[in-house]
């Protein structure tokens, strides 16, 4: 055959394929989301997220130890309080679950990097991400509470805060309060492009944070929209966001790519609880190969343009990278 261009030449051996790879992944870009819960002696598996647990503060160190051993150095903490109320007061309580977990974690594992999810939904009795005015989440008073929550996390030792509520102006509100209190160096990772998604179902079971009425569509984004995602990303950068997150990941790779091409800050993608649960369930049925699917999903997100990847499979991925299966 008269053919000079043969793409298969570069696919011949594993060594060569690795040499010419376009996407590189590293365990240092992974963030592991973890649930901490009020109480003692608790290490309970989350039914909808097999292999993921809720840890009380006394049990948490064992989980952190496993992360360190796996080579994962970044953690995102979510808190599950014993008491919820209308205004989510445990979110910004000095002895709240995340605040206590942070102090203990920092004491025992000072070299891990701690990011906290800043939101009210795990702390409100109604499960919405802010204060209610009738049936509607009231934006501006909510921003004040989110800023207060972020500040209390940083005071307890958080290295970075990550607001996930989708209120307008919350990045600015948090930035200003942190700065007024001298925390000018603490970065904000904004869940800027966060869609109202059924993929959060298992998380809401894990955190007991499903809204008791209605849904989150008046604050989280409509999944039909792409340009709106760019608008949210640019707005949050103007308000001082240091990292922009797109969430979920797998069904939103086009959005990750577009945001990554548009902004000049690092882009994170969050492979959420529903993505995790689907992989686990299908693997349990013997219908997919779990490890290969985990690798493909992660590389897909990086290929789409994210530089930081949040996943419940962080430990597994770190292992696969170490083994040279991806990387």
**Does residue 164 bind ligand PBG (CB under 6 A)?**
yes
Whether 137 and 218 have beta carbons less than 8 Å apart is answered as yes
Select 58 or 85, whichever has its Cβ closest to ligand PBG: 85
> Which residue in 117, 159, 236, 258 binds ligand PBG (CB under 6 A)?
117
Contact flag: residue 114 with ligand PBG (CB under 6 A): no
Which residues within the stretch 133-152 sit at the binding site for ligand PBG (CB under 6 A)? none
Residues in the interface with ligand PBG (CB under 6 A) total 11
Taking only Cα atoms into account, the Rg of the chain, rounded to an integer number of angstroms, comes to: 20
Which 249-278 residues touch ligand PBG, going by CB under 6 A? 272-273
| Omega of the bond leading into 248 within 30 degrees of 0 (cis) | yes
Query: Binder to ligand PBG among 203, 219, 302, 313 (CB under 6 A)?
Result: 203
75 phi and psi angles, rounded to 5 deg: -125, 140
Q: What's the min distance (Å) between Cβ of 184 and ligand PBG?
A: 25
Under rule CB under 6 A, which residues in 65-84 are in contact with ligand PBG?
none
Please pick, from the candidates 91, 129, 193, 294, the single residue that binds ligand PBG as defined by CB under 6 A: 129
Q: Does the footprint of ligand PBG cover residue 314 (CB under 6 A)?
A: no
268 and 248 Cβ atoms separated by less than 8 Å: no
Q: Choose which of 46, 115, 119, 246 interacts with ligand PBG (CB under 6 A).
A: 119
Q: Which residues are catalytic?
A: 194, 247
Pick from 59, 153, 175, 204: which binds ligand PBG (CB under 6 A)? 204
Closest approach, Cβ 6 to ligand PBG, in A, equals 43
121 binds ligand PBG (CB under 6 A): yes
Q: At what angle do helices 314-322 and 60-70 cross, to 10 degrees?
A: 30
User: Taking CB under 6 A as the rule, does residue 92 contact ligand PBG?
Assistant: no
Residue 167 engages ligand PBG in binding (rule: CB under 6 A)? no
Residues 250, 271 contacting (CB under 8 angstroms):
yes
Figure out which of the listed residues 109, 123, 183, 200 binds ligand PBG, where binding follows CB under 6 A: 200
Please say which residue, 90 or 164, places its beta carbon nearer to ligand PBG. 164
Does 52 contact ligand PBG by CB under 6 A? no
Check residue 29 for interaction with ligand PBG (CB under 6 A).
no
Can you give the binding site for ligand PBG, defined by CB under 6 A?
117, 119, 121, 129, 164-165, 200, 203-204, 272-273
């Amino acid at each position: 055959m008269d053919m000079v261009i043969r793409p298969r030449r570069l696919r011949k051996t594993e060594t060569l394929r690795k040499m010419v790879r376009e996407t590189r992944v590293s365990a240092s870009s992974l963030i592991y989301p973890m649930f901490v819960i009020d109480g003692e002696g608790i290490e309970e598996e989350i039914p909808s997220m097999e292999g993921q647990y809720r840890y009380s503060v006394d049990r948490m160190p064992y989980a952190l130890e496993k992360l360190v051993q796996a080579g994962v150095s970044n953690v995102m903490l979510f808190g599950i309080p014993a008491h919820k109320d209308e205004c989510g007061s445990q979110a910004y309580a000095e002895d709240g679950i995340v605040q206590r977990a942070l102090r203990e974690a920092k004491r025992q594992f000072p070299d891990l990097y701690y990011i906290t999810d800043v939101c009210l939904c795990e702390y409100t009795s109604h499960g919405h991400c802010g204060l209610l005015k009738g049936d509607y989440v009231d934006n501006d008073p909510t921003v004040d509470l989110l800023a207060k929550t972020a500040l209390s996390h940083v005071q307890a030792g958080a290295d970075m805060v990550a607001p996930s509520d989708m209120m307008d102006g919350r990045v600015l509100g948090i930035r200003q309060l942190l700065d007024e209190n001298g925390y000018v160096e603490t970065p904000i990772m904004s869940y800027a492009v966060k869609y109202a998604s059924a993929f959060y179902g298992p998380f809401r079971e894990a955190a007991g944070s499903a809204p008791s009425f209605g849904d989150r569509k008046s604050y989280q984004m409509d999944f039909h929209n792409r340009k709106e995602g760019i608008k949210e990303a640019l707005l949050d950068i103007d308000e001082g966001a240091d990292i922009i997150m797109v969430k979920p990941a797998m069904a939103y790779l086009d959005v990750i790519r577009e945001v990554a091409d548009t902004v000049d800050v690092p882009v994170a993608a969050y492979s959420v609880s529903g993505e995790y649960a689907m992989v686990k369930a299908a693997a349990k049925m013997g219908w997919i190969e779990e490890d290969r699917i985990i690798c493909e999903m992660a590389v897909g997100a990086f290929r789409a343009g994210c530089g930081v990847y949040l996943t419940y499979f962080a430990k597994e991925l770190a292992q696969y990278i170490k083994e040279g299966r991806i990387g």
